[in-house]
Chain A
């Protein structure tokens, strides 16, 4: 498995601002993923981040709104830009280890 940490664990932000979420893994991994879980909903994949290449975004998610960095094999960031109340969600990063995906503790974002 993998030990994954995320910062911040929660935040309350004003609309129009941006928040950067950090994800740190205790081992080197090729693939990292970012998911969003809106209130009462299941998880939706935002993008896949491989080190050394541009992130691949799912339909409905764009780089200008959710820029991702992947500077090395243990770290990634997701920025939620120009936030609106509809961005209030739990944001989770995950990694694949031996074909199994493990999740970080999540960041609970509330936009007012």
Chain B
């Protein structure tokens, strides 16, 4: 059974701190790993990672994938209260020889709270 595990499940820090969110996975036919930020209803796309060791960066957020150890981390530096959200990690699988993707398998998410 495909599995995506995120840790910690919840985290409370103060504004200005740096946080690291973890995501490990056990899946067959791995295609990519995606990070999302969910504040109300719709998850907002952050990053898609397909190759090991290549950091993706957007402002204060960055992420990297280790396909050998089967995990990814999401870093947020100089946190702000607006970073408070649930951060979701998801894995996309490859279907068949055509390479088309299946739906995503999600972890339970990390509930991040940034205190002023």
Interface residues of A (CB under 8 A from B): 1, 31, 33, 35, 41-45, 48, 58, 90, 92, 94, 96, 99-106, 108
CA distance A42 to B7 in the complex (A): 14
Closest B residue by C-beta to A2: B45
In the A-B complex, the 5 residue pairs with the smallest Cβ-Cβ separation, listed nearest first, are A106-B41, A45-B103, A42-B106, A33-B103, A43-B106
Which residues on B sit within 8 Å (CB–CB) of A103?
36, 42-45
Q: List 18 A-B contacts (CB under 8 A).
A: A31-B101, A33-B104, A41-B108, A42-B88, A42-B107, A43-B90, A45-B103, A45-B105, A48-B103, A92-B42, A94-B103, A96-B101, A99-B31, A99-B101, A100-B45, A102-B45, A105-B42, A106-B41
Contact with A along B77-112 (1 / 0, CB 8 A): 000000000001010100000001111111111000
Interface residues of B (CB under 8 A from A): 31-32, 34, 36, 41-45, 48, 50, 88, 90, 92, 100-109
Contact with B41, one of A31, A44, A90, A99 (Cβ below 8 angstroms) = A90
**Which secondary structure dominates where chain B touches chain A?**
strand
CA distance A99 to B101 in the complex (A): 8
CA distance A42 to B87 in the complex (A): 10
CA distance A35 to B34 in the complex (A): 16
Q: Are the CB atoms of A43 and B32 closer together than 8 Å?
A: no
Q: Are the CB atoms of A92 and B107 closer together than 8 Å?
A: no
Known: A100-B48, A102-B45, A105-B42. A42 touches B108 (CB 8 A): yes
Which residues on A sit within 8 Å (CB–CB) of B88?
42-43
Closest B residue by C-beta to A93: B42
Contact with B104, one of A1, A43, A104, A105 (Cβ below 8 angstroms) = A43
Determine how close the nearest CB of chain B comes to the CB of A96; give it in whole angstroms: 6
Closest A residue by C-beta to B89: A42
CA distance A58 to B107 in the complex (A): 17
Contact with A101, one of B41, B92, B107 (Cβ below 8 angstroms) = B92
Closest A residue by C-beta to B1: A59
